[in-house]
Amino acid sequence: MFSRILIANRGEIALRIVRACRSMGITSVVAYSEADRESRAVQLADEAICVGPAESRRSYLSAPSILSAAIVAGCEAIHPGYGFLSEDDTFAEMTRAHGLTFIGPSPEVLERFASKAGTRTLLAKHGLPTIPGSGMLRDDAHGMAEADKIGYPVLIKPSAGGGGKGMRMVRSPRELQQAMTICRSEALAAFGDDSLYLEKWLEDNRHVEVQVMVDRFGNGVHVGERDCSVQRRHQKLLEEAPSPALNAEQRAALLDAAIKAVVAAGYENVGTLEFLLDRQGNWYFIEINCRIQVEHPVTEMISGLDIVAEQIRIAAGEPLSVKQSDIELKGHAIEFRINAEDVAHDFRPAAGRIETYLAPGGPGVRMDSHLYSGYDVPPYYDSLLGKLIVWGPDRATAIARSRAALDELVVDGVVTNVPLHRALLANEAFLNGEFTTNLLDRVGSAAFMAAADAAA
Amino acid sequence: MTGSNETRTDERATIARLTDEVVPTLIERLTRSDLGEIEVRQDGWRVRLRRGSGDVVAAAGHATGQTQHHKPAAVAHAADAQPRREPVRGQVSSPAVGYFTPRDGVAVGGRLRKGDLIGVVDMLGVRQDVISPIDGVLKQIEVESGQAVEFGQAIGRVEGNV
């Protein structure tokens, strides 16, 4: 096992990794940018080292700075968290070349799963159904021809993307022609790669994903699914487990197919397979995330496992601490992403000083947040302030506890999206477990909130 | 109190406007154009976006030939949108995380011109220049040869000709 780990991330996930290290007796060293000098992770870590200025390209995204910090600080491994360098196979390769361990899949595995189109082909070969789609588009004319074959509406997706960035749904050839140009420039700006592909758009679909853990010895387990259907413009807002949309038989089939395919395809470390579920209960594999995910605590709450600790163990070459038969999923958990966003003004991101922060508590309540009273939220990074995760023995209890916890949560000084979460908990489609990924966008957030107010 | 609260509210509004409107617009323009850099100054705020790949930042302390991570600067956040915390006048700061080596012949008491090389920080085999921030006399070197330094760490102090 490692004795010192460099944490190359910030915010709540840096804190989460510090906590995992502490519980495992590992010394944590947080790599931080100048803008995060006063962060909670820096305060709580055993050690901290400044790697660059606020601009993430010269700090959290700078492979040489991060590696130099790890060497200078005498670390044996680097935990990249999510985002930033977490799925960068070149960085993983560089890490290994410097005699350090990347806490994630090996460079070879990352490379094998780097292309979304390639991954779909690979996992389809191992038995996972996929959505009809195109390969990488050569040019606009190719895109138009492929869309005709697939049938409208289609979803344009950047190959290098993640987190829903740069995706666009179009309903006609004319829309497609215009959108391809925009998507290319967005993808180039966001990911440095403008390659696109198309996918059939399923109306009223749900987003369901399977958490897997595979060690170096080829032992693989799934830890159930998460339902992430509550989204706004392809950004997840709330996640829950288990999915209210699957019956026991469908669930067993999905989980079994997912873990078999991913082990057969040679995956390693923790990962998430994302699926779309249509109204008829058919599921289609869309992509794999080769990292710890924002919403992993939902799974931790129903399984009792520490997924970050398992991830570190796998990277250290140890076998998984659990077999499939040891994993028992109990109750229901919901995660609310608390974002510094002004729902009333088109989700405009906010920054500034947190005047007061008070976390909720009580049975089944977990708050993963880097906030504290007096903390200045820097304007340079994403708007995630923390995650409220609530567990109950059943979904109704989890929802009731969630209402109470959201009411208890105090974040003063910066506008948050908590009102939207309250509205979700008053929404009939959500309460009935019938939320679909495009519901919020179709209704519009303003109308959605107004309806919730009227119902209250 | 009211005054400072108002200032803070104004700042917040400005930051929100910068992140929400100004920066995305600039990113789009920079992406579409052949320009290497765009800068906007307004009401005491300054936003500057630079194209990423292979760039050699002109700012002090950045050696040429630095290994750049080839991702475009456009993902960048409003890096210069907030006035930087000014280091103490005359402070010699580390430009990178790595190991410090002073330049031969540099010694406390020596005269320096702004931009003169004081030493280098070795970041993964790439030397990053440590330079004098002002004209003056080198009063102190706080870091020994071969010692590890982090980004922004005080390496020494130059006293200006006041």
pLDDT of residue B59: 31
Q: Do A55 and B31 touch (CB under 8 A)?
A: no
Q: Do B15 and A185 touch (CB under 8 A)?
A: no
pLDDT of residue A115: 86
Confidence of residue A165 (pLDDT cuts 50, 70, 90): confident
pLDDT of residue B60: 29
Q: Is B44 left (phi over 0), alpha (psi -120 to 50) or beta?
A: left
pLDDT tens profile A110-131 = 999 998 888 999 999 999 999 8
Give residues 110 to 139 of B whose Cβ lies within 8 Å of A.
123-124, 126
pTM of the model: 0.81
Distance CA(A330)–CA(A108), nearest Å, equals: 35
B61 CB near a chain A CB, below 8 Å?
Answer: no
pLDDT tens profile A273-289 = 999 999 888 999 999 99
Nearest beta carbon to residue A68 from set B75, B77, B96: B96
- Judged against a pLDDT cut of 80, whether residue B47 lies above it is answered with no
The ipTM is 0.85
Angle between helices A307-315 and A296-303 (to 10 degrees): 100
CA distance B135 to chain A (A): 25
Nearest beta carbon to residue A57 from set B15, B28, B71: B71
Query: Which residues of B are less than 8 Å from A29 in CB distance?
Result: none
Confidence of residue B45 (pLDDT cuts 50, 70, 90): low
- Judged against a pLDDT cut of 70, whether residue A17 lies above it is answered with yes
> Taking residues A324-328, what's their average pLDDT?
98
Say if strands A341-342 and A269-277 run parallel, antiparallel, or are unpaired: unpaired
> Taking residues B30-36, what's their average pLDDT?
57
pLDDT of residue A299: 98
Residue of A33, A34, A37, A68 to mutate, interface with B, max B Cβ within 10 Å: A68
- Judged against a pLDDT cut of 90, whether residue B78 lies above it is answered with no
Task: Give chain A's mean pLDDT.
Answer: 95
Distance CA(A37)–CA(A19), nearest Å, equals: 19
**Sign of the CA dihedral A45, A51, A53, A57?**
negative
pLDDT of residue A13: 98
CA distance B73 to chain A (A): 7
pLDDT tens profile A348-380 = 999 999 999 999 999 999 999 999 999 999 999
Nearest beta carbon to residue A348 from set B8, B20, B81: B20
Confidence of residue A133 (pLDDT cuts 50, 70, 90): confident
Nearest CA in chain B to A181: B32
pLDDT of residue B68: 33
Residue A217 carries which DSSP code? Answer: T
**Sign of the CA dihedral B82, B88, B91, B94?**
negative
> Taking residues B87-92, what's their average pLDDT?
82
Confidence of residue A451 (pLDDT cuts 50, 70, 90): confident
Q: Which residues of A are catalytic?
A: 291
> Taking residues A77-88, what's their average pLDDT?
96
**Which residue blocks in B2-152 are alpha helix, DSSP H?**
2-17, 23-32
Give CA A262 to chain center in angstroms. Answer: 18
